[in-house]
Each structure stands twice: as C-alpha cells, then as structure tokens.
Amino acid sequence: MMVRNLVLFLLFVTVIAPIVLYTHRLGSFNFSSSRGEFLEDFSSFTLSSHSEHLNILPLESSRTLKEPVGTVYSNNTAHPEPDASATEHNSTDVQGANQDLQLPESREHKSTRALSTTNENVSSIRENPLRQITDQHAQKNLRKGSLVQFDTKRVKVSKREQQSIQSTDLKSRESSKSEKGNDEAVAPNARVQYLKDQLVQAKLYLSLSATRNNVNFIRQLRQRMKEVQRTLGRANKDSQLPRNALEKLRAMDGILNRGKQIQDDCASMVKKVRAMLQSTEEQLRVHKKQALFLSQLTAKTLPKGLHCLPLRLTTEYYSLNYSQRPFPNQEKLEDSSLYHYALFSDNVLAAAAVVNSTIAHAKDASKHVLHIVTDQLNYAAMRMWFLVNLPGKATIEVQSIEEFSWLNSSYSPVLKQLGSPSAINYYFKAHRAHSDSNMKFRNPKYLSILNHLRFYLPEIFPKLKKVLFLDDDIVVQKDLTGLWSLDLKGNVNGAVETCRESFHRFDKYLNFSNELISKNFDPRACGWAYGMNVFDLEEWKRQNITDVYHTWQNLNHDRQLWKLGTLPPGLITFWKRTHPLDRSWHVLGLGYNPDVNQKEIERAAVIHYNGNMKPWLEIAIPRYRNYWMKYVDFDHEYLRQCNINP
C-alpha cells in the first residue's frame, strides 16, 4: 500500500503538476492583435527535409508579441513614424513594458539577434524555412523593443521626412497635371480628329474585299458611320460635340477592331490606302479649282439689288425736268485751291459709301470737290443718286466717258488693244488651252476703260494742280486734307509701299524673263498700292508721264511684259517717280486677308477692300464689313425698294 501511494505521488509530481502549471500559464496568456499574423505565418510553414541546428530564442514576456510599425536596422537608423493607434497604445503601456521586459536585458537580446542576422549565410536562410520563421519573429520582437526606446527627437525627424515625401508627391502631381494641361493645349480637339480618323478607317474597310463580303459586319459598320457622322455634325472643337460622343467613339472602335480581325492582309490595306490618298489629292485639286472659279464668278457677278438700283435711279432721272438735273456749286470744279478727289466707278452704292465717308471726316466740307466719272450705262443712275443725296456743303461732279472726245483708240493704245480679236478671244472664248491659268486676269473689269482712266488724269482735269485718286472699294476714316500739303520731292505719285509681303514686289507682276523688263527694272523693287494716291499733275505734265505709259503699253501689245491690269503698267510708268507715304494713310487687304491687324485698321486714314471679297457682296469678310456698312443708309427708299439689306 505504501508503495502504491508512493507511485501515485511521483506520478502526480511528474505528470499532473506540470500540466496544471502549464494550463495556469496558458490561462494568463494575453493574445494580441498579432495573433492572426502569427497564425498566418505558421499556416504557411512547411517542414524541410534538412535538419540543421536552430538558434534558440530567449523567452520574452507576452507583451512583446504586439507588432510594431517601424523597421529597425541599427541603433543609428531613423525610425519610420508609427501610426496613431500604435503610438497611443504604446504610450499607455510604457511603464508596464519597462517593468516586465527589464530594458537592459532586451537591449542585449536585440544586439545578439542583429549580430546573428547579419552573420548568417543567405543561402542557409533560403534553404531552411524554420530559420526564416524564427528570424521573422526575432525581427518582430526586435521592433517591439525598439518602439519602447522611441524618443521625441526621432519622431520629429520622421515627421519632417513624411512632410518632405508628401511635398514631393504634391509636386509630382502638379507636374503631371501641368503636363496633362500642355497635352490638352497641344491637342484641344483630339476627340474631333479621332472621330474623323475613324470615318477614314471605316471607309477603308468598306472597300476591302475581305470585309465587304461579311454582310453583318458591313451593316454594323455603316450604322456606326452614320452615328459618328451625326455626332460630328459641324463640330470643329471637342466642346461642340454632344455628350454621347465618347460612347459613339468607343462603339466605332469596337467595330473597327472587329474589322482588323477579319482583314489581316497588310499589303492589300496599304495598297488601298495609297489609292484613297491619291484619289483624295485629285479631289482636292478639283475642288480648289472649282472654289477659285466660283469665287471669281461671284466677284464678277452683280447682285440683284445692285442691278435693280441703277435701273430704278435711271428711270427716276429721266423723269426729272432739265432744270432739276444740274448740281450746285459747279464754279468750284476748276478751283485749284480746293481739295479735289477723282473717283472712277460704275457702282452707285460703292461710290456713295466713298463720298459719304470722305465728307463725314472732312473738317471743312465746303473746300472738298468730288469728281466722279462713270460709263454711259450708269451715268443717269449716278447723277440721280447724288442729286437726291447731295454731300452736304461739298461739291460733286458726275461725268461720263463719252464726254471725253479725245479718248479714242487712235490716242489710247490700251483702248485699241481691248477691242482687238486677241483680247476678245482671251476673255470670251470657251476653250482655254493656250490661255493663262490664273482666272483673275480674265476679270471683265480689265475690259473697262474706267480701270485705265487713272493714266489720263491731266487730260481729264487740265486746270488742276493736285488730285487725290480714290478707288470705289475704299472707306475713308480720317480727314485727308493733309495729303495736299505733302512734299512729294519732285515725284509724280505719292503712295503707300507694299514691301512687307513677297508677292508685292516687281517680280510678281512683271515678266523678268523678257529682256526689256530685266534690263530696266529691279525684280526685288518694292511695289506700291493703287487705291489712294496723290498725283502732282503739274509734275506729271513736266515729265510727260502719259507718253511713258503709252510707250510701254504699245510694247505689251501681246501681253508678254505683263498681263492685263493697271498695277503692272503703273509700277513701270511711275518707276522711280513714286514718293512713299506713311502706312497709316492706307491699309490694304480687307478684301482677301482675314488677319489684317485690328490696330492698323483703326489707325488708318483709308482702308481698302482690295480683292474679291468686296463689302457689298455676300462673300465679304464679316469682321471688316461693318466699317463699310455704317456709311450706307440702308433705310433709304431706293435701297429698300431694291431689297438691299445690311
């Protein structure tokens, strides 16, 4: 019995007592938040066939199992900033941790583990997974011990580092935004262009044999093309596209990708694209030619309203008594002390705008005399208009070419040439095989002698000393009396030069392949503008300018020196006889150039609508038309009857 009691006692001491003690220890164990991570690491643990020696880790308190935030590599490295929850939790448990961990001992453990980690062979770590797990837990415990040693200085350093990182990220975001903004600035209408490119690709697939045989694909492709075309409409900017544009773009991308899968022959696609490019270039050439023809036709064609106006005025004029037809102040017509203007036109409305704008800015209208010369067809209409609309205190005269008995083909070479069979063939024959390709030289205005009267000013005004010549497509914006007091320094013509653009030099108007031209003129000489010119008629007569003009006009009977027109013979006739005026007197280009400087227009004394886009035509440049319209009374009875509207 004694033996049995002794055996039971020993069994209790050796077996049951350790179990009771170990159970009590497990009951006091505090599972931290790192339990899940430990289980995950343990679940991934796999035994290796290697049975190498494992480093035994010193036993530490259960409170050290909490996972820290930072990673510590040595005593001198800066610690990353812990998150808010870890910092708060650590601050509440610092005292308990110091008591349980016995801080000097934990430092010793830390240095021992760091040394063992750096001295171990890397290959052995990779080969032994148990070694990896023990090292991971050693590092976790090391981090926990280092957290207890966090001081305020290191926390401040880590905060500054984090701020620098945040500022760097902010700068990188701003730079990326600026780069994105630059890309958008470079291609603000990328979506519109992409939709257009999609249509080109769709047309390509419509013409390929492989895709054309797929009826279902072709039907869907045509449907997508219609959707894209409706989406584009007349949009030129991405902002003008509808809201569903992106949806249509993606749908078209989908069908195009399907087409790529159906048609995989690159050679045939390249061949087809080349054919499409060649066809497009040919169509572009044809359309440019048609556009040029239509613009020239529009410039030559008289609108219905401008055709109606002279007919109505002519009827009214011949219904007047003879006593009602003369203009007042006719005694001033030959007074050379006054300011005389010469205007040659067959357009009643254009002449009215020139007269109205000139008198509107004249300081003393009573000293201004306007001489208008027109053809016999518009003579009555021109007189009737200005009889009804007298220019205030200014004096006006209307003459017809038929009154100049000295102007005939025996005296004027150009009049003889205009009536020649070659000129008629050049202008009116249907075939153009051997004629000039530039249609502007076929403008009927070159057939009118009105266009050439500017070379006969002394004959038209024999008693005048100076004349200011004005075209009928100009608008006066300032008082022009200062032009009569300018010193032309012995020159005959005062004009604004047009050297800024290369096409306004002599070689663009004259044929320098001809020996007569190349020997006498400089191809790079600066041209000048007709439209507002001061002519010294006394110097004109002294230098016999009309004979110079006749000489060169006779030499050009076959149009080998220049084409028909007035500027080329003007450049030749007044070569080295032209005084350059300040550019502010005369600004050109409002009839063809949409980019004339706005400040130059506003400063100019005279603005000139030279070109095909005249202000009284529908093809006029809109931004310039108001300068002309404000000198036309659209409420006038005759204009309303002819339906002439702004």
pLDDT digits (tens, 9 = 90+) for 234-243: 888 888 888 8
Based on the fold, state whether residues 501 and 410 are members of the same structural domain: yes
Region 592-601 average pLDDT: 93
- Structure confidence at residue 503 as a pLDDT band (50, 70, 90): low
Domain boundary (241, 264, 287) is at 264
Q: Is 643 left (phi over 0), alpha (psi -120 to 50) or beta?
A: left
Average pLDDT over residues 428-453: 63
Q: Is residue 90 part of a domain?
A: no
Same domain, 492 and 442: yes
**Claim to verify: residue 457 and residue 599 sit in the same structural domain:** yes
Is residue 609 very low, low, confident or very high in pLDDT (cuts 50, 70, 90)? very high
Residues of the chain above pLDDT 90, percent:
41
Q: What is the pLDDT of residue 401?
A: 94
Domain-located, residue 243: yes
- The pLDDT value recorded for residue 1 is 67
Same domain, 230 and 373: no
In this structure, the answer to whether residues 400 and 329 fall within a common structural domain is yes
**pTM for the predicted model, two decimal places:** 0.62
Q: What is the mean pLDDT of the chain?
A: 77
pLDDT at position 18, please?
A: 67
Query: CA-CA distance, 397 to 89, in Å (whole number)?
Result: 107
What confidence tier does 7 reach under pLDDT thresholds 50, 70, 90?
A: confident
Question: Residue type for 5, please?
Answer: N
Q: Tell me the pLDDT band of 544, cut-offs 50, 70 and 90.
A: very high
User: What Cα–Cα distance (Å) separates residue 400 from each residue in 375, 381, 404?
Assistant: 5, 11, 8
Do 328 and 197 share a structural domain?
A: no
The whole-angstrom separation of Cα 367 and Cα 395 is: 8
In the predicted structure, residue 616 carries a pLDDT above the cut 70: yes
428 domain residue, yes or no: yes
Return the pLDDT at 174.
Answer: 55
Are residues 626 and 487 located together in one domain of the fold? yes
363 and 419 within one domain:
yes
Helix axis angle, 129-148 to 84-92, nearest 10°: 70
Domain that includes residue 553, residue range:
304-642
331, 379: one domain: yes
- ∠474-478-482 over CA atoms, to 5°? 105
Confidence of residue 163 (pLDDT cuts 50, 70, 90): low
pLDDT at 24: 54
Are both 383 and 444 inside the same structural domain? yes
DSSP 8-state assignment for residue 528 = B
Tens-digit pLDDT profile for residues 42-60: 444 444 444 444 444 444 4
Domain annotation covers residue 454: yes
Give the confidence band of 101 by pLDDT, cuts at 50, 70, 90: very low
- Considering only 180-194, 386-400, 618-632, which range has the smallest mean pLDDT? 180-194
Do 244 and 347 share a domain, yes or no? no
Per mean pLDDT, which range of 140-144, 534-538, 572-576 is the poorest? 140-144
- Find the length of the chain: 646
Non-local (6+) Cβ contacts of 515 within 8 A are: none
Q: In the numeric block, which tokens belong to residue 28?
A: 């006091």
Residue 19, domain member (yes or no): no
- Using alpha carbons, list the distances in angstroms from residue 11 to 5, 6, 16, 22: 10, 9, 7, 16
Separation CA 466–CA 495 (nearest Å): 14
Give the least confident one: 71-85, 218-232, 292-306, 621-635. Answer: 71-85
pLDDT at residue 383, as a whole number: 96
Gyration radius of the chain's alpha carbons: 49
pLDDT score recorded for residue 310: 95
Indicate the number of domains in the chain. 2
Asked if residue 509 belongs to a domain, the reply is: yes
Could you tell me the CA-to-CA distances from 551 to 15, 411, 414, 469, 555 in Å, in that order? 142, 12, 11, 23, 6
Residues 255 and 312 in one domain: no
Contact of 362 with 395, CB cutoff 8 Å = no
Q: Residue 379 falls within a domain, yes or no?
A: yes
Task: Name the more confident of 279 and 36.
Answer: 279
pLDDT digits (tens, 9 = 90+) for 271-316: 888 888 888 888 899 998 888 778 777 777 778 999 999 999 999 9
Tens digit of pLDDT for each residue in 324-377?
899 999 999 999 999 999 999 999 999 999 999 999 999 999 999 999 999 999
Give the Cα separation of 420 and 422 in Å (integer).
5
Task: Supply 159's token pair.
Answer: 């905060």
Confidence class for position 491, pLDDT limits 50, 70, 90? very high
pLDDT band at 160 (very low <50, low <70, confident <90, very high): low
Per-residue pLDDT for 445 more than 80?
A: no
pLDDT attached to residue 258? 86
**Domain for residue 230, yes or no?**
yes
Buried b or exposed e, range 587-625, using 16+ CB within 10 angstroms: bbbbbeeeebeeeebeebbbbbbbbbbbbbbeebbeebb
What is the biggest distance separating any 2 CA atoms in the chain, rounded to whole angstroms?
171
Q: What is the pLDDT of residue 475?
A: 97
Report how far residue 625's alpha carbon sits from residue 607's, in angstroms, rounded to the nearest whole number: 11
pLDDT confidence of 157, banded at 50, 70, 90? Answer: very low
Mean pLDDT of 431-456: 68
